[in-house]
Structure 1
Amino acid sequence: MVLVDYNSVIESKADPLINMAGQVSALYPQLGSINEIQFVTSSENHTYRIISERGDFAMRVQRPGYHCLEEINAELQFVEVLSNNGIATAKPVRRSDGHFVSQLHTVEGDRLVTLFHWVKGHHPEEVEFYDTYGKMGSIMGRMHQVSTNITQDYTKSRPRWTLDEIIGSHAVWGSWDHPDYIDQPQRNLILGFIAELRSRLARYDSTGRYGLIHADMRPTNVLLHDGGVVTIDFDDCCHSWYLFDVAATVSFLEHRPDMPEWLGHFISQYQNQTKLSKQEVDLLPFFIGLRRVQLMAWYFSHRESVYCQSIGDTWLYQSFDVVSDIISHKISFN
């Protein structure tokens, strides 16, 4: 973890956080004086930990062009609703004027910034996945109940992810098809899978099973604390199929041999809150494949990231085995 001392932030003109601590203090006087800023992680956005005299907070600095002010406000409204319904989340902090989102000036330009109360806990280790997935299933079942009861106009500013936004011509992360990495037989495999998925979706009535979802609730986006699970990082929340939300819980893990066991436990606990029809259980592997193909596009668009470099092209080529197993019905939750 990189530590950024308050004084060095102010003095270093090369640091994108220059003067940010002073601006944050002015907008959030409830923090008191800021003693230290720690870099935590970088993915779609940059996350920092603020250590102040009145507690710790997470500061999310938005990547330019990813989400606008209205979309971020809608995300935080959704988080607030979930929290009010007893679902543990990282709660956003309001500014002194009552707003959630701030615009701060950095040497890299203006950035939209949001503060959250710091959540104690740790990301689950793999030995904790089975138990964690069960708890995640119960939480998501309740989350989908809340989403079903939200009016259509609520948080309408959040994106809508249909097939076109997930893997089509308007895909959020671009194309999954890169000729430098994918040969014709592999391409035909993915295209055949997509055709089969479209056919199955045409027969699926998703009425009441489509709404606001987290869209990235995987082990790296939950924290374990005092026997419970806290869900964080709603940055990708969107309107889409609930089944896509379930499938996204095994993002980047679809090829793992333990995946069916982890997700099977998730489903058993999910169904204690929200029932899945037999058709939905049969469809779930195809949504897992859909998510994996979307993540292929993410991989190509984020190849310089630390995470992509850590999983390497091996992960990419395992995707074709995942899709093949789904088409041949080797992945099942019946």
Structure 2
Amino acid sequence: MAALAQQAARLWGFAPDQIRLAARRENIVWRAEDGSGAFALRLHRPGYRNAAQLLSELRWMDALVQGGLNVPRPVPSRAGTLVEAVGDTLVDLLTWLPGRPIGMQGQLDVTDRVGLCCNLGALLARLHDISDGWTPPPDFSRPAWDRAGLLGDRPLWGPFWDNPGLTAAQRATLLAARAKADAHLAAIEPGLDYGLIHADALSENILIHDDALSLIDFDDGGWGFRDFDLATFLMRFLPAPDYPALRAALLAGYAKRRAVDPGALDLFILLRALTYPGWIIPRLHEPGGDARSARAIHTALPLAEAYLATP
């Protein structure tokens, strides 16, 4: 992998000693540094996104930067291209934002948790506002977290009801929740705010620097319901004792754009939880895959059961 990264780095003019491994997640990220600053060299998981989708992501991010949002800025290669290919691996380069994640795996490593959530709500509102004011090019191609992408026969992150860790009874529960949620979403869909969303606003993807927040990792960003962005963040904090306060603060910050219907938000928290048992299926062979699958099921099932128990 180091040889692949070095080959990719040369496309932007970096020498092998100017890069180092920074993160091995959905994509493999290397930190590249030269006299002009620090950058994130992303080696994308083969087959997850095509070149057109990545180029669309980068153009959108550039529009957000132009709109004043603090997100990474795409950097063209020496050939003037935003997306390059090294074998079957697609590569791009982004500016490296200062700061640290606000937390990891559902934790908030900050003193003022409520204040942070209020600021995050305002940041997501700005993201949505700037996105609405931008006209994507005709060839713009990003995934759609719409009703089909969440609950259809081929959801974006896979058929969550087919996770091999489910018992027959658990599978039946998720299928029943899927059917009820599909009808529910179809009924309220006309009144929902829909547009470009980040779709992965986890604490790991939110940086804090000098009390200012910024967003990274737009890999799953695309078209979707705006409440889904709020639900993605909140789902991880459902067990927290101060969850009601965190939720209220997030919505208060976001209310500068519009109020959020509590019932719709609860539905999207369920839908967010349902995506993870599907997401992990093709990754079960990776280190920790079984444990991550078990956690995803453990989170989704109680929400599905509670949802089915409501009128």
Interval containing the TM-score (normalised by the shorter chain): 0.7 to 0.9
The residue type equivalent to 1:122 in the other structure is R
Distance in 2, matches of 1:155 and 1:142, equals 24
Contact 2:83 2:91 in 1 (8 A): yes
Letter in 2 for 1:298: W
CA deviation after TM superposition for structure 1 residue 44, in Å:
1.9
Q: Percent same amino acid at aligned positions?
A: 25
Letter paired with 1:148: D
One-letter identity of the residue aligned with 1:52: D
Q: Which one has a bigger Cα radius of gyration?
A: 1
Equivalent position amino acid for 1:296 in 2 = P
SS in 2 for 1:87: coil
Equivalent residue number for residue 114 of structure 1: 92
Q: Which moved more, 1:302-311 or 1:71-80?
A: 302-311
Of residues 296-305 and 218-227 in structure 1, the stretch that sits farther from structure 2 once superposed is: 296-305
* Mapped contact 2:162–2:171 kept (Cα < 8 A): no
2:24 to 39, 42, 52: 42
CA separation in 1, counterparts of 2:33 and 2:169?
A: 53
Residue 220 of structure 1: CA displacement?
Answer: 0.7
Task: Output the TM-score relative to the length of structure 1.
Answer: 0.81
Q: Tell me the residue number matched to 1:8.
A: none
Tell me the amino acid that sits aligned with residue 70 of structure 1.
Answer: A
Which SS does the other structure have where 1:38 is aligned?
A: strand
Determine if contact 2:192/2:225 at 8 Å carries over to the other structure. Answer: no
The correspondence of residues 153-168 of structure 1 with structure 2, limited to 5 A, is 156-168=140-152
2:258 — aligned with what? 275
Q: TM-score, normalised by structure 2?
A: 0.86
Q: Distance in 2 between matches of 1:87 and 1:145?
A: 10
CA 17–127 in structure 1, closer or farther in 2 if over 3 Å, else same: closer
Structure 1 residue 321, shift from structure 2 partner: 1.4
| 1:20-59 alignment runs, 5 A limit | 20-21=5-6, 24-25=9-10, 27-29=11-13, 33=15, 35-59=17-41
Question: Match of 2:267?
Answer: 286
Q: 1:251 to 1:114 in 2, by over 3 A?
A: farther
Do the aligned partners of residues 40 and 60 (structure 1) sit closer, same or farther apart at CA in structure 2, a change above 3 Å counting?
A: same
Q: Which deviates further from its counterpart, 153-162 or 214-223?
A: 153-162
Across the aligned residues of Structure 1 and Structure 2, the Cα RMSD in angstroms comes to 2.7
C-alpha displacement of 1:84 = 1.1
Contact 2:161 2:175 in 1 (8 A): no
Greater Cα offset, 180-189 or 112-121: 180-189
* SS state at 2:166 partner: coil
Between Structure 1 and Structure 2, how many residues are aligned?
A: 305
Moved more, 134-143 or 194-203: 194-203
**1:1-334 aligned within 5 A:** 16-18=1-3, 20-21=5-6, 24-25=9-10, 27-29=11-13, 33=15, 35-104=17-86, 109-125=87-103, 126-128=108-110, 129-151=113-135, 156-178=140-162, 180-206=164-190, 209-272=193-256, 274-276=257-259, 280-306=261-287, 308=289, 311=292, 313-328=294-309
